[in-house]
Amino acid sequence: MIEKVGNRKHCYKKITERRLFMPLVCLFIVLLANVIKTPDFFKVSINNGVLYGYTIDILNRGSELIILSIGMTLVTAASGGQDISVGAVMAVAAAVCCQILSGGAVTTNTFENPLIIAILAAFTVSILCGMFNGFLVARLHIQPMVATLILYTAGRGIAQLITKGQITYIRVDNYKILGGYIGSCPVPTPIFAAIMTVIIVFLVIKNTALGLYIECVGINGSASRLVGLNSAMLKFLTYIICSLLAGVAGIVASSRIYSADANNIGLNLEMDAILAVALGGNILSGGKFSLAGSVIGAITIQALTTTLYAMKVSADQLPVYKAIVVIVIVILQSPIFKKYAAGLVSKRAAEGIEGAN
């Protein structure tokens, strides 16, 4: 009997000590609440040849957030700070892309320039934004939050300048594919975009030593230098990756509304991305990281937002409810609470032993 209780305790410890345990529990709780509230939550049906359902909606709407949170995870791990300019960079990328496509006009019904050139230009501008952030953080040692505050405030202004203060519309069906559907494929394209991003970044990290280097620099910069790592270069690189991914997210977001709305694309999304990183069990002060955790975190946040909309909470009040849920989730993941929970379990196990005797 004692052995059995001991085993159970051991098992519990083994499971709870997994890094992804808490993030998954949080996601599970949010989903559970949904199922109770709306029994057909997991129902997926096909209407007009496309998939419909809450889960599809969450993944679809959460695509940009997932893409952003991947970049945010890398920046956080390497520099121990966050890039708060990603939302603004999304707007800049969208503006560049749409402006090139429309050839400077406010609205267009045909591509004035090839799509590929517009997208490459948007990526280039995103990378430039990343280089700017990275230079400030890695070379000038400015705190990440302060360094990226510059583009956070200036970014949308730059986007406005590019679109000359207008919302540029691209009324071409081909442009709507990225934010809509590919041909008769029933799965929304943004989901593919998110999956592709995750897979590419994951493969890069798995097939190079980049992940190890980033963790190393994030944990101890001084020791990393002495074992031959170029910590400035690595930080610089993560900011570039982060901004590039923001550019990808920006184009997806712009394709959804087939326009470049400099004021609203990616608005407040940087905060959600940071939250996704934190919910994923990553330490915001840098070091070890888990991409899977951040993806789960991003899905959790989007599930929460969708749930609240489904419960007819108005957009203005949304942040309040979101904050309440976030508080609960963050407390659940805090080390003090984890210790407390572990204490409860071992107490229970001890009582079990006594009872057996």
Partner 1 sequence: MNKKIVLSVKNISKSFSGTKALSSVDFSLQKGEIHALMGENGAGKSTLIKVITGVYKYDEGEIHIGERKICNHSPQEAQENGISTVYQEINLCPNLTVAENLFIGREPKRMGFINWKLINQKSEEILRNLNIEVSPTQMLAECSIAIQQMIAIARAVDMRCKVLILDEPTSSLDKEEVEKLFELMKHLKKEGVGIVFVTHFLDQVYEVCDKITVLRNGKFVGEYETDKLPRVQLVAKMMGKDLDSISNIKGERKEFSGKRIPFIEAEGLGHQGTIKPFCLAIHKGEVIGLTGLLGSGRSEMVRAIYGADKADSGKLKVNGKEVKIHAPIEAMKLGMGYLPEDRKRDGIIADLSVRENIIIAMQAIRGMLKPMSKKEMEEAANTYIDLLKIKTESRETPIKYLSGGNQQKVIIGRWLLTNPQYLILDEPTRGIDIGTKTEIQKLVLELAEKGKAVTFISSELEEMLRTCSRMVVLRDGGKVGEIESDDLTQDNIMKTIAGGEQEND
Kindly list the residues in this chain that would bind partner 1 in the complex (CB under 8 A): 207-210, 212-213, 215-216, 219-220, 222-230, 287-288
Q: Distance between CA 282 and CA 214 in Å, rounded? A: 13
Closer to partner 1 at the Cβ: 205 or 257?
A: 205
Closer to partner 1 at the Cβ: 212 or 327?
A: 212
Closer to partner 1 at the Cβ: 197 or 231?
A: 231
Residue 168: φ, ψ to 5°:
-85, 125
Closer to partner 1 at the Cβ: 13 or 348?
A: 13
Residue 170: φ, ψ to 5°:
-115, 95
Min CB(283)–partner 1 separation in Å? 9
Q: Distance between CA 38 and CA 312 in Å, rounded? A: 13
Distance of CA 159 to the CA centre of its chain: 22
List the structure tokens of 186: 């029933």
Min CB(212)–partner 1 separation in Å? 6
Query: Virtual CA dihedral for 337, 341, 347, 348, nearest 10 degrees?
Result: 160
Q: Residue 52's beta-bridge partner residues?
A: 45
Min CB(342)–partner 1 separation in Å? 11
Q: Which residue has the tokens 């108005």?
A: 314
Closer to partner 1 at the Cβ: 234 or 244?
A: 234
List the structure tokens of 69: 């949170």
Closer to partner 1 at the Cβ: 37 or 339?
A: 339
Residue 289: φ, ψ to 5°:
-140, 165
Min CB(308)–partner 1 separation in Å? 36
Min CB(6)–partner 1 separation in Å? 11
Interior/surface letters 32-56, b for 16+ CB within 10 angstroms, e for the rest: ebbeeeeeebeeeeeeeeebebbbb
Contact status, residue 214 vs residue 78, Cβ threshold 8 Å: yes
Closer to partner 1 at the Cβ: 22 or 68?
A: 22
Min CB(156)–partner 1 separation in Å? 35
List the structure tokens of 239: 């900011």
Min CB(9)–partner 1 separation in Å? 11
Closer to partner 1 at the Cβ: 115 or 283?
A: 283
Contacts by 211-215, CB closer than 8 A, 24 or more apart: 211/289, 214/74, 214/77, 214/78, 214/238, 214/289, 215/77, 215/287, 215/288, 215/289
Is residue 253 within a helix (H) or strand (E), and if so which, with residue range? helix 231-256
Min CB(225)–partner 1 separation in Å? 6
Closer to partner 1 at the Cβ: 117 or 223?
A: 223
Min CB(220)–partner 1 separation in Å? 5
Q: Distance between CA 333 and CA 227 in Å, rounded? A: 34
